[in-house]
Amino acid sequence: MRLFALKGSEDLGAAVAVALGTALDPHEERDFKDGEHKARPLVGVRGEDVYALHSLAGSDDASANDRLLKLLFFLATCREHGAERVTAVAPYLAYARKDRQTKARDPVATRYVAQLLEAVGTDRVVTLDVHNIAAFQNAFRCETVHLDTRRLFLPVIERLAGALPVTILSPDGGGVKRAQLLKECLEAETDLQAGFGFLEKRRSRGVVSGDLFAGDVNGTAVFILDDMISTGGTMLRAADACRARGAKAVHALATHGLFGPGAGALFGSDAVDRIVVTDSVASAMRAKVEYPAARLEIASVAPLIGEAIRRLRDGGSISDLLGTES
């Protein structure tokens, strides 16, 4: 097996390697002055089972497009030089938000990314908590492995809830299933029982609307769950709604802490007691430095990804890892 982590994902890659009890394999990346790029493995890959890890969230130093193209080229060169199998490990998968047409002549970017990955000979794609798991699985013809982080949040919820009753809340209708699965997992694997709720949210041409609030949060510790936090507007809107309805504590949980422009409002709000994300993207750690006073907590997904790779390599069960065996 060969494990590589491309530039910008080295910290998570190194942590995954530790979880696997191995080391990252060396590779070279070179940027040319005109914006072009090349990357190559510095060890032989012929006949090897290759895993290339790169999170595809854009940042100041590299756009999502840059990261996607670099991953595509690296997977292609491993295939070109005889790798028996190539697996793209993309903890955050770019363009997963645009998975269907909602307006005339809309793109379906999720499918286009799938076609690009398949075109360079990718055998398998591993990712974490995509925006819409059904759209992700249906877009690809190669093998897909979708890892979810709900078990990672269980000890966080137990600790932060203290003696308060718990409510799991989705900040929009699209995340209801995600929040329901967390509630079911929490009740199955801990002594806690949880209420449930969701907030109506509609977005059209950049304008967010919707007033329906379902669920009783009065006197409870509310855990708002989403797949990602970008500007933080969705989380803040939901947190304010919970406070207005008597919530004693409000915590924001998300797998991907993108924290783009505008996230400072979330970090500075008294409506949110704690923000918990994973290290699936490097921007989460950068936000920790940029906003030192923020009530931000980061949980590592490296053990989960490392164990998934181990099981894929050895023929183990991913369903058992995720607790989805019937």
Going by C-alpha positions, the residue among 135, 33, 32, 117 that lies closest to residue 75 is 117
Output 267-270 pairs: Cβ under 8 A, ≥24 positions apart: 267/232, 267/291, 267/293, 267/294, 267/295, 267/296, 268/294, 269/236, 269/239
The one-letter amino acid code at 1 reads M
Cα–Cα distance, 119 to 29 (Å, whole number): 22
> In angstroms, rounded to a whole number, what is the distance separating the alpha carbons of residues 79 and 8?
22
**Cα angle 217-220-225, degrees, rounded to a multiple of 5:** 70
Q: Which two tokens stand for residue 104?
A: 């005339």
Distance CA 37, CA 233 (A): 35
Q: Are 211 and 200 in contact (CB under 8 A)?
A: yes
Q: Which uninterrupted H or E stretch holds 283?
A: helix 283-290
CA distances from 215 to 168, 175, 201, 225 (A): 10, 15, 15, 15
The number of beta carbons lying within 10 Å of the beta carbon of residue 145 is 18
Catalytic one of 38, 201, 248, 288: 201
201 is catalytic: yes
Would you name the residues annotated as active-site residues? 201
